[in-house]
Amino acid sequence: MLPNQTSVLVAGGGPAGFMAAITAAEAGVKGVLILEATAEPLHKVLISGGGRCNVTHACWEPRVLVGHYPRGSKALLGPFSRFATADTVAWFAARGLSLVEEADGRLFPSSHRSSSVVAALRRLASAAGVNLQSTQALQTAEARDGGFRLGLRGGGVLMADRLVLATGSHPSGHRLARALGHTIVPPVPSLFSLSLDAPSLRQLAGVTMDPVGLRLVPPSDQHALPCRGDGAGELVQRGAVLITHWGLSGPATLRLTAFAARRLRQWGYHATLEVDWTGGLSQVELESHFREARHQQARRQLGSWRPWSALSRRLWWSLLEGHGVAQEQRWADLSGPIQRQLIQSLRASRYPVVGRGPFGEEFVTAGGVPLAELQSTTFESRSQRGLYFAGEVLDVDGVTGGFNFQHCWTSGWLVGGALAADVRQY
C-alpha cells in the first residue's frame, strides 16, 4: 500500500535512485519511498555488461575521470572529488560486494554476475527501511506548501516533503522537470556503432584491431566546430575497433560517437570516417616495414607475409584485393607506386558514414537537466527547494567502460547525503 504522505520520494528505481534512497535511509532518514514505473527495478543494471554489470572503472583521479564524460566533465570535478571510483569500490565492499578489476580497467562484481549487484542494492534498501513500490509512476508534480503534490498513474495523489527525480532518460522525467521549472537539453543517442557504406569491410565482419585511429570528417556542407554540449576539439579517437556486417563498432567507435553525438545528429548521421589501421605508425615507420619485408621476405608471397604482425591478415588481404594485387605476388616484385597506395590505405582509408548501427544498441542518452541549474555539491535544484536530481536524467553522459554507472553512484550518494542533512536541519 502506498502512503498518502512521505518524507522523501525517489522517482526511478535504477542505480542512481537506489543509491540516493539507501544513502539517505542509512543516515537515518525515515519515510524514504522509491517508485519504479516498471515491474523490474534495476533492470538496466541486470542487463548491463553482458549480464556481468561493469560497476565502474579503475580511473582513480577525479581530474582524469572527468575526461571520460563528453557532457558534464567540468561540472563533475567537484562531485568526483567527494565520491569517485575508490569510494564506490569501498562503499560496495563495506556492504558485502567485492569488485574485481579486469586488464582494461573495468570493474565487475567478483561473481561476474549482474544479479549480485541487483541483489545487494535491493537487500541494502530493504535493510535500511526503504519502501520500494514497482509498477508505480508519477504523472504530475506540483510544488506546494514547502513540499510536492504528486499525481500517480492511475489517479492517486501522494504528498512528499522532498522529491528526487532519478528517472533516467525517459521522457516522463523530463516532463516532470519542466513542470517544476527546469529546462531540458534535447536528448540524442550516444555510444553507438556506425553504419558504413563499405562493401570491402562486410566480408571482414568479426575482425578486431587494436589500436586503430579514427577521425570523423563532416559532410561537405557542414563544419567540424563543436555543437553545444559536445566535447571540444577534433573528432578523433584511438583504440580497439570491431568490424561488423554493417560497419564499425568497438570501444574506439563508441567513444568517438559519444563525443560527437550532437554533431552526428546535426549532420543526419552522415559523414566520412577516416580510419588509420596502423594505430599511429608514421609514413617513415611504414616505409621501413615494407622495405624490410621486401629485402628479408623477398621470395614470400604478399598474402603469406604482412608488413607487421599485428595487422589483421584478413584486412591485409582485403587491401591487396582493393588495389588489384594478387596474393601470390612476391614481395620482391611489389612496385613503388603500389606500395605507396597500400601505405596510404593503411594510414587513411575513408568510408562514408550512412547512419547509426542497425539495432538501436545505444545504451546512453546525451541530454537532460543542465547541471548549471543545480547546486554542485548536492544536486538540489537552484530554483525549487527540496527537489533533487540524480543519474541519467541529468545532461551528463560518459563513454563505455563503467563511467555512466559511476556518475549514478556519485550523484545518488551526494543526493542521499544532502537529503539526510536537510532532514536533520528541520
Determine the Cα–Cα distance for residues 36 and 346; give it in Å rounded to an integer: 50
Please state, in angstroms and as integers, the Cα–Cα distance from residue 76 to each residue in 186, 220, 371, 394, following that order. 20, 35, 9, 12
Q: What is the pLDDT of residues 187-236, one digit of tens each?
A: 999 999 999 999 999 899 999 999 999 999 999 866 655 555 555 456 99
- What is the pLDDT of the chain when averaged over all its residues? 94
Q: Is the pLDDT of residue 154 over 90?
A: no
Determine the Cα–Cα distance for residues 162 and 388; give it in Å rounded to an integer: 8
pLDDT of residue 339: 97
The C-alpha cell 593503411 sits at 346
Q: What is the pLDDT of residues 274-299, one digit of tens each?
A: 999 999 999 999 999 999 999 999 99
Q: State which H helix or E strand residue 277 sits in.
A: none
Phi, psi (deg, nearest 5) at residue 420? -65, -45
Please give the average per-residue pLDDT across 291-320, as a whole number. Answer: 96
Asked whether the bond before 370 is cis by omega within 30 degrees of 0, the reply is no
CA 61 to chain centre: 19
Q: Is the pLDDT of residue 424 over 90?
A: no
Please give the average per-residue pLDDT across 132-138, as a whole number. Answer: 95
| Confidence at 363, pLDDT banded by 50, 70, 90 | low
Determine the Cα–Cα distance for residues 126 and 221; give it in Å rounded to an integer: 56
Q: Above pLDDT 70, what percent of the chain?
A: 95
Asked whether the bond before 218 is cis by omega within 30 degrees of 0, the reply is no
Q: Is 173 helix (H, G, I), strand (E, B) or coil?
A: helix
pLDDT of residue 403: 96
Q: Are 334 and 136 in contact (CB under 8 A)?
A: no
DSSP 393: G
C-alpha cell at position 230: 559536445
| Confidence at 389, pLDDT banded by 50, 70, 90 | very high
Q: Is the pLDDT of residue 251 over 70?
A: yes
Q: What is the pLDDT of residues 345-357, one digit of tens each?
A: 999 999 999 999 8
Find the Cα–Cα–Cα–Cα dihedral 263, 268, 270, 274, rounded to 10°.
10
Determine whether 220 is exposed, middle or buried from the number of CB atoms within 10 Å of its CB (0-12, 13-18, 19+): exposed
DSSP 107: E
Half-sphere exposure in the Cβ direction for 332 (13 Å, CA)? 6
Q: What is the pLDDT of residues 35-92, one digit of tens each?
A: 999 999 999 999 998 899 999 999 999 999 999 999 999 999 999 999 999 999 999 9
Helices (H), 180-335: 199-202, 251-259, 261-266, 283-296, 313-322
Please state, in angstroms and as integers, the Cα–Cα distance from residue 299 to each residue in 296, 302, 305, 340, following that order. 8, 9, 10, 20
pLDDT of residue 254: 93
Q: What is the pLDDT of residues 171-184, one digit of tens each?
A: 999 999 999 999 99
Q: What is the pLDDT of residues 96-114, one digit of tens each?
A: 999 999 999 999 999 999 9
Provide the b/e sequence for 203-214 (b: ≥16 CB within 10 Å). Answer: ebeebebebbbb
Residues 326, 330, 336, CA angle at the centre, nearest 5°? 85
Rg of the Cα atoms in the chain? 25
What type of residue is 114? S
Bridge-partner residues for 298, per DSSP?
none
Give the list of residues 6+ apart from residue 93 with CB closer than 8 angstroms, or none.
99
Closest CA relative to residue 184, chosen from 205, 159, 158, 165: 165
Higher pLDDT among residues 9 and 3, named by residue: 9
For the chain, what are the domain ranges?
5-188+363-425, 192-361
pLDDT of residue 60: 97
pLDDT of residue 36: 97
Q: What is the pLDDT of residues 256-280, one digit of tens each?
A: 999 999 999 999 999 999 999 999 9
C-alpha cell at position 333: 616484385
pLDDT of residue 296: 95
pLDDT of residue 360: 53
Kindly report the CATH number that applies to the domain delimited by 5-188+363-425. 3.50.50.60
